[in-house]
Amino acid sequence: MCSGTLECAYDVVVAGAGPAGSVLSRLLALQGAKVLMVDAAPFPRRKPCGESLNPGAVQTLSRLYDGRQADEWLHEASIPHSVLNGWQLNSAAVGSSRMTTLAASYGDNRYGIGCKRELLDGWLIEQAYRAGVVFEEKTRLERLIWEKGRLIGVEVRRLGDGQRPQMVRTQMVAGADGIRSAVARSADLSRFGKLRKAALTARLNGIDGLSGKVELYVSGDRVIGLAPIGGGLANMTVALRGLKAMEGAATGKAAYLMSEARQWEALKERFHHAEIEGDVLACGPFERIVRSTALEGMVLVGDAAGYYDPMTGQGIYRALRSAELAAPALMEALQTGSHRALQWYNRQRLTEFSGSLRLQKLIEQASRYERLWRAGLQVIGASEALTNRLAAAISDSRPVHR
Ligand SMILES: Cc1cc2nc3c(=O)[nH]c(=O)nc-3n(C[C@H](O)[C@H](O)[C@H](O)COP(=O)(O)OP(=O)(O)OC[C@H]3O[C@@H](n4cnc5c(N)ncnc54)[C@H](O)[C@@H]3O)c2cc1C
C-alpha cells in the first residue's frame, strides 16, 4: 500500500489534463492501466483558445464517448454551447474597406461546437476520474528520471505549499502538457520554430449577427477569429504576426481588442453593444517543432507533440486523435515490454496529420502576400467543388449519413 497518490507506483503518468491528457488517461484506465494524471494548473482553468471544436473533433468525441452526439452530452452536462455549421473567411488590404469573402458550410450532417474550454476540459477530466484515473491538480511534472538508459519515473512538485520535488515511479510517461511541454524538453525533443506569432483572446457578450459560423478577418499581419460559444457569448481571438506587435497590444489588452474589431466596417455596427467578460488572455509564440513523438517508455500527444498556428482551428482535433492513437500503443508497450508499438504511434500520427499540416503552413504563408491571398480566395470561392474540398480538409471530418 502507498500512503499518498504520489507515493504509489504507476503504469503510466500523464502530464497535462487538457483534452489530450484526459482522453488518453481515460482510455488507458478503461484498459486496466494504473494511471496518474498531473496538471500544474488549479482547475477549472482557462486556456487561451478560439474555443471552436471542428467537425473532426466533434466526431472523435462522439466515437470516444459511447457514440453519443457531443451536443447531446454537453446539453445533459448543462454546458452552454453553440453548434457551428461552417466558416466565413474575410480578407481586406490594410486600410481598405473592400472585402473578399469566402464562405463554406460543413454540410453532410457535419458540425462543429463552440463552448468554454474550462467547461469542456472539466467534463473530460471528470470522465477520466470516473474511469479510475488518479488526478492531481497544482502538481507540475519537472523532469523525467532515467536509470541506465531506462525511464524509471518522473519528478513532480506540488505547487503552492513549498514542497520539495518528489519522485513518482512509473513504467511509461505521456507528455500531454501543451506547447511548452516539460516532458518533451526533458527528453530533449523540442525546440521553438521560426513562426513568431502571438494572440490575445477574450469572451464578449452583446455582439450582433452571430450566424453559427466561425468568422475570420484577415488583414496584413493580423487575424481576428470570432465564434459563438453559447450562453450569448462569443470568443474573439486576435493573432498577430511579430512579437513586437504583441508588446504594443499587451498594454490595455481589452481596448486593443475592441479597436481591432472596430477597424472592420463589417464589425463596427455589430460591436456597438459588445462588452468583454472576464480577463483577456495573452499567449505566444506558438510554433513548436518536435523531433520524435515517441521514445522508449515515453510518448507525446496533443500540442506537446508539436504545434504550428491556431488559424485553421485544428488543435483540439489533433489533441483528441493523437490520444486515441497513443492509447493502444502504450497498452501494447506495457504488456509486451517492446518499444515497437510506440514507434508505430510516432509513424501513424505523422501519416495522419502531415497532409493537413502542409495545408495549414500553405494557408499561413499565403496569407502574408495580400494580393496573392485575395486572388486565391476569389478563385476558390468561384468553385463550389474547391470550396467544399478546402472546407473538408480543415474540418478533419467525414460525411455522416443518417
Ligand atoms: C490563440 C489560440 C487559439 C486557438 N484556437 C483553437 C480553436 O478554436 N480550435 C482548436 O481546435 N484549437 C485551437 N487552438 C489550439 C488548442 O487550444 C490546442 O491545440 C489544444 O488545447 C491542445 O490540447 P492539449 O491537451 O494538447 O494541451 P492543453 O490544452 O494546452 O493542455 C495542457 C495542460 O498541461 C498543463 N501543463 C503544462 N505544463 C505542465 C507540467 N510541466 N506539468 C503538468 N502539467 C502541465 C497545462 O496546465 C494544461 O492544462 C488554439 C490555440 C491558441 C494558442
Cell of 213: 459560423
In sequence order, what are the residues at sequence separation of 6 or more whose Cβ sits closer than 8 angstroms to the Cβ of residue 139? 6, 38, 39, 40, 156, 157, 158, 159
Tell me how far the alpha carbon of residue 109 lies from the centroid of ligand 1, in angstroms. Answer: 28
Q: Ligand 1, residue 283: give the atom nearest the CA.
A: 53
- pLDDT tens-digit series, residues 65-84: 988 888 888 999 999 999 99
DSSP letters spanning 196-231: -EEEEEEEEE--S---SEEEEEEETTEEEEEEEEET
- Residue 189 to residues 4, 294, 345, Cα–Cα distance (Å): 31, 9, 16
- pLDDT tens-digit series, residues 172-209: 999 999 999 999 999 999 999 999 899 999 999 999 99
Tell me how far the alpha carbon of residue 383 lies from the centroid of ligand 1, in angstroms. Answer: 35
Q: Is 178 in the pocket of ligand 1 (CB under 6 A)?
A: yes
Tell me how far the alpha carbon of residue 177 lies from the centroid of ligand 1, in angstroms. Answer: 8
Which has more pLDDT, 164 or 122?
A: 122
- The reply to whether 9-46+118-193+287-359 and 82-115+196-283 are identical in fold is no
Most confidently modeled range among 81-85, 162-166, 369-373, 380-384: 81-85
Q: What is the mean pLDDT of residues 339-365?
A: 95
Topology, domain 82-115+196-283: D-Amino Acid Oxidase; Chain A, domain 2 (3.30.9)
DSSP letters spanning 315-350: HHHHHHHHHHHHHHHHHHHHHH--SHHHHHHHHHHH
Is 90 exceeded by the pLDDT of residue 370?
A: no
Spell out the domain ranges in the chain: 9-46+118-193+287-359, 82-115+196-283
Q: Is 58 in the pocket of ligand 1 (CB under 6 A)?
A: no
Q: Whole-prediction pTM value?
A: 0.97
Tell me how far the alpha carbon of residue 49 lies from the centroid of ligand 1, in angstroms. Answer: 8
Q: What is the mean pLDDT of residues 369-384?
A: 90
At what angle are helices 384-395 and 340-366 packed, to 10 degrees?
140
State the burial class of residue 223 (Cβ atoms within 10 Å of its Cβ: 0-12, 13-18, 19+).
buried
Tell me how far the alpha carbon of residue 147 lies from the centroid of ligand 1, in angstroms. Answer: 31
Q: Ligand 1, residue 182: give the atom nearest the CA.
A: 41
Q: Ligand 1, residue 156: give the atom nearest the CA.
A: 42
Residue 169 confidence (pLDDT): 97
**Beta partners for residue 190, in sequence order:** 290
Is 80 exceeded by the pLDDT of residue 145?
A: yes
Topology, domain 9-46+118-193+287-359: FAD/NAD(P)-binding domain (3.50.50)
Q: What is the mean pLDDT of residues 334-352?
A: 96
384: Cα within 13 Å, side-chain hemisphere = 2
